[in-house]
Amino acid sequence: MTARRVPLLDLAALHAPIQREIDAAIRAVVDSQQFILGEAVARLEKQLAAYCGAVYAIGCASGSDALYLALVALGIGAGDRVYVPAFTFFATAGAVTQAGAEPVFVDIDEATFNLDAAHLDKMIREKPDGKAVIAVHLYGGAADMDAIGAVAARHGLVVIEDGAQSIGGEYNDRRLLSIGRIGCLSFFPTKNLGCFGDGGMLTANDAELAERLRALRVHGSRERYRHDEVGVNSRLDALQAAVLLAKAPYLDEWTQARQRNAALYTGLLEDVAEVELPRAAAYQTRHVFNQYVIRCQRRDELKAHLAGQGVGSEIYYPIPLHLQPCYEGLGYREGQLPASEQACREVLALPVHSALTGADIEYVCGRLREFYGTV
């Protein structure tokens, strides 16, 4: 087979066909000279609230800020506990610490990589009196919201959704980011809907909460130069909103391409004994495959082999959050959250982005099979 280059992500290929539309949208913002919030941000908020099945959406500066603002708006701060999965991007826990609260790390369900509701219940008993749980929909697949919601209701916890990787995903036909009290989105360039820098958004169904979030992102101000509480500066730039508005009409088409690519992998790798393919959860009605993640033996060697053959891959994530150096003081030890620790040793994300061709995927699978000697 002739060598080719298959990067993990190819933003140039994604943007090239719609570059004129993006350029025109950027030009319109420059011509308007309205760079902060304004009409473009308001239009995007309306459009994405509807897309996520939520009543309100509030743009902010990043997905990390969305998580922080969600916690502050819910009154969570010093002395509070928030339950988070130990296997996720750092921001999920970092936002809790930044808000002054303590993250309590919960193990994941090994089949879905998402929060294990039974273990959540166990951790609540060990470290009680928490205020909230953050359910992350990792890689674009839904966490078990009914099971998590039931445990949360039993213990009086608010549920926040970290949907940074899962725009358009569904849980039992319900759009993610509309199920918890607040949903958090990221528009980091690698996301399924990414902007040209940092950007984020919050979703909510409660008018009062939405209003508080709107105030918190502009220093707690509801009325110009009057501050009812202390907030932060976390606004979405109009330029980023314009880029997102230009890209949003293509999101479903891109998601379908990701799903098609995932199905191709599954068909081509099913019989490789050393590889475990992503498993579909019983409640999963729309996985949006921000990442296609396999578990594999000799993971680091496979990654190096693929890199040598021009294939990009990545480890999301190599260190579980309970073992991060910054959380040493919380007293967790290795072996305590085994499913998260095992995932960190085994996961590898393969290219799944929408600009890939069937031949690209066949090439990746061919190189992988070659590594395991199953060509």
Ligand X SMILES: Cc1ncc(COP(=O)(O)O)c(C=O)c1O
Under rule CB under 6 A, residue 194 binds ligand X: no
By CB under 6 A, name the one of 29, 44, 63, 168 that touches ligand X: 63
Q: Which residue is nearest to ligand X (CB)?
A: 63
d(CA 192, CA 194): 6
Cis omega (within 30 of 0) on the bond before 56? no
Helix (H) / strand (E) containing 242: helix 238-247
Stretch that binds ligand X, among 42-50, 86-94, 264-272, 330-338 (CB under 6 A): 86-94
Instruction: Report the chain's C-alpha Rg in angstroms.
Output: 21
> How many residues contact ligand X, by CB under 6 A?
15
Tokens (6 digits) for 5: 């280059």
Q: Which CB atom, from 265 or from 317, has the smaller least distance to ligand X?
A: 317
Stretch that binds ligand X, among 89-97, 113-121, 296-304, 306-314 (CB under 6 A): 89-97
| Sequence-distant (≥ 6) Cβ neighbours of residue 27 within 8 angstroms | none
Q: Taking the complex as a whole, how short is the minimal distance between the CB of residue 290 and ligand X, in angstroms?
A: 8
Q: Parallel, antiparallel, or unpaired for β 226-227 and 284-286?
A: unpaired
Q: Taking the complex as a whole, how short is the minimal distance between the CB of residue 77 and ligand X, in angstroms?
A: 20
Tell me the C-alpha to C-alpha distance, in Å, between residue 291 and each of 191, 195, 223: 9, 18, 42
What amino acid occupies position 369? R
By CB under 6 A, name the one of 88, 114, 203, 261 that touches ligand X: 88
Binders of ligand X in range 274-333 (CB under 6 A): none
Instruction: State the virtual CA torsion across 255, 260, 263, 269 in degrees, nearest 10.
Output: -110
Under rule CB under 6 A, residue 91 binds ligand X: yes
Binders of ligand X in range 112-141 (CB under 6 A): 136
Q: Parallel, antiparallel, or unpaired for β 182-186 and 158-162?
A: parallel
Q: Which CB atom, from 134 or from 209, has the smaller least distance to ligand X?
A: 134
> Would you say 274 and 297 are in contact if contact means Cβ atoms under 8 Å apart?
yes
Q: Taking the complex as a whole, how short is the minimal distance between the CB of residue 68 and ligand X, in angstroms?
A: 10
Here's the x/- map for ligand X, 136-175, by CB under 6 A: it reads as x-------------------------x-xx----------
Under rule CB under 6 A, residue 188 binds ligand X: yes
Under rule CB under 6 A, residue 85 binds ligand X: no
Could you count the other beta carbons within 10 Å of the beta carbon of residue 34?
14
Stretch that binds ligand X, among 13-21, 59-67, 101-109, 324-332 (CB under 6 A): 59-67
Under rule CB under 6 A, residue 237 binds ligand X: no
Tokens (6 digits) for 52: 């996520």
Closest to 243 measured CA to CA, from 196, 178, 181: 196
Closest to 25 measured CA to CA, from 9, 11, 43: 43
Q: Which CB atom, from 290 or from 309, has the smaller least distance to ligand X?
A: 290
> Would you say 240 and 199 are in contact if contact means Cβ atoms under 8 Å apart?
yes
Stretch that binds ligand X, among 36-44, 58-66, 254-262, 341-349 (CB under 6 A): 58-66
- Binding region for ligand X (CB under 6 A): 62-64, 88-89, 91-92, 136, 162, 164-165, 186, 188, 198, 200
